[in-house]
Amino acid sequence: MLRRLAAAAVAPRRLPRRLCSAALQAHHSFYIDGEWVPPVNGVVPHQVINPATEQPIATIALSSPADVDAAVRAAQRALPSWSATSREERLAMLEQLAAIYAERQGEVAQAISAEMGAPIRLATRAQAAAGLAHLRQFVRVLRGFEFEQPLRAGELLTHEPIGVCALIAPWNWPMNQVSLKVAPALAAGCTALLKPSEVAPLSSLLFAEMVHQAGFPPGVFNLVQGEGAVVGEAMATHPAVDLVSFTGSARGGRAVTRAAAEGVKRVVLELGGKGPNLVFADLGADLATAVRRGVRHCFQNSGQSCNAPTRMLVERSVYAEAEAVARAEAEAQAVADPALPGTHIGPLASAAQWHKVQGLIAEGVASGARLVSGGLGRPDGLGRGYYARPTLFADVPPHAAIWREEIFGPVLCLAPFDSEAEAIALANDSAYGLTSYVQTADAARARRVSRALRAGMVEVNGKACSAGAPFGGVKQSGNGREGGEMGLREFLEVKTIAGWPS
């Protein structure tokens, strides 16, 4: 096996034509059992739309349950040999994949920018870069992970691959989520089938090319395309699938959980968020910096991030000052073509997302919240494309839809609080619990508030979680964790062996 891996590193497998150079052409095949194969029941075409132009840039085929079955069966056949590989063999494969990804990262960034509208700077430095960071992080995790541990009473505790894994990725951070799912699954010794979002599938097609180029054995990784209601359900209900990892909306997570329940499969969910950002008056001169940082973070990726700090809670004594700073920052936020260099934001990813955001902005006005800047429609000068205006609401009542629902657009809500206890209560009064944010100059308060917030992650004073930190939430933000050692453990079963011969 090691000799074959070494040979693959010297002479990569023959590749199909690169998708980035053929992005305007049809790609009507799926990657199953080490080959690009046509749909079992014929081509059902689906256009991939560039959200900046509202024009099609590619056509893919949508999978049927028969294609899902073929991918699952390929993964099932590959599982015995792949799960029996050594740590060193899997490390060699993942290191090769990371090296290829690094070489082709520019292609990935271009694909992401075209398929979901991320500005090319963001697509390069954050979107595509995140995929590589997670690949490298899981190489480090795998290298040091203890798969066997003796227990005090003499038992042997082992960690073994869970089996065939169905991986369902979203459109908003495509390579970040693909790497967070595929890398630990393969590192653990599992085999996998991936379904990217049909909104942003091109970067995942490139990823499948890289897996092929790296020389992974046939069936270890497979890719199908399609809508969640058809393909996702077929993956979740398939009797040979042992785990489903899903990233998307809370509604989608509930559907996946119901579909997987009959088979009592392990389900890992990374769902939505409505991140509270608590800003305390003790910041003093640093208040403006904290508020500007919060506005920029909310608007990054056009607001299409589950961990965005979309609810800014500000201590009343500095509320007016914070609102003025936030308004200036929101009005200064440029919106432009994602192909242009710069720190502007681009369009929303689809027509459906644009209409959803517009509807929620209208509901915000009707709720009695005060519209400070932005609002309905497209920014001036942008008549085509799914661009939304960076929008700031103040005095948002806690019952308002814009305060309670995940908008997934460049919309920030402000509300005041009078005490630390009230701030915590307002922050926790949410169906979600993904990432919370605390801005304070008081270290004791930072520790106290961070512990009181019901969230999977808390970021204090702009310190972000690293690629190796566990990512995930509580309540309707999901269950399980992605990233780092805890992300690897999601793909492993624990076995206890008593009487293990010494």
Residue range of the domain that includes 251 = 2-9+19-271+477-497
Instruction: Place 26 in a pLDDT band, splitting at 50, 70 and 90.
Output: low
- Whether 502 maps to a domain, the answer reads no
Q: Is 226 exposed, middle or buried (0-12, 13-18, 19+ CB in 10 A)?
A: buried
Structural domain count, the chain: 2
Q: 38 and 170, same structural domain?
A: yes
Q: 291 and 267, same structural domain?
A: no
- Whether 331 maps to a domain, the answer reads yes
Q: What is the pLDDT of residue 7?
A: 31
Question: pLDDT tens, 278-317?
Answer: 999 999 999 999 999 999 999 999 999 999 999 999 999 9
What average pLDDT is seen over the chain?
94
Question: pLDDT tens, 358-367?
Answer: 999 999 999 9
Instruction: Place 383 in a pLDDT band, splitting at 50, 70 and 90.
Output: confident
Q: What is the pLDDT of residue 71?
A: 98
Q: 455 and 489, same structural domain?
A: no
Task: Check whether 15 has a pLDDT greater than 70.
Answer: no
Task: Check whether 10 has a pLDDT greater than 50.
Answer: no
- Whether 110 maps to a domain, the answer reads yes
Question: pLDDT tens, 430-454?
Answer: 999 999 999 999 999 999 999 999 9
Q: 230 and 373, same structural domain?
A: no
Q: 238 and 330, same structural domain?
A: no
Q: 223 and 338, same structural domain?
A: no
Q: 288 and 417, same structural domain?
A: yes
* Residues labelled catalytic: 270, 306
CATH code of residue 249: 3.40.605.10
- Whether 471 maps to a domain, the answer reads no
* Helix or strand (DSSP H, E) at 222: strand 221-223
What percent of the chain shows pLDDT beyond 70?
A: 95
Listed in sequence order, the DSSP H helices in 104-144 are 105-116, 120-122, 129-144
Q: What is the pTM of this model?
A: 0.94
Q: 292 and 215, same structural domain?
A: no
- Whether 173 maps to a domain, the answer reads yes
Q: Is 380 exposed, middle or buried (0-12, 13-18, 19+ CB in 10 A)?
A: exposed
Question: pLDDT tens, 241-281?
Answer: 999 999 999 999 999 999 999 999 999 999 999 999 999 99
Q: 424 and 393, same structural domain?
A: yes
Q: 411 and 392, same structural domain?
A: yes
3-state secondary structure 372-419: EECCCCCCCCCCCCCCCCCEEEECCCCCCHHHHCCCCCCEEEEEEECC
Task: Check whether 149 has a pLDDT greater than 60.
Answer: yes
Q: 152 and 223, same structural domain?
A: yes
Q: What is the pLDDT of residue 6?
A: 29
Half-sphere exposure of 97 (CA within 13 A, CB side): 32
CATH code of residue 451: 3.40.309.10
Averaged over 419-426, what is the pLDDT? 98
- Whether 14 maps to a domain, the answer reads no
Averaged over 160-186, what is the pLDDT? 98
Q: What is the pLDDT of residue 388?
A: 98
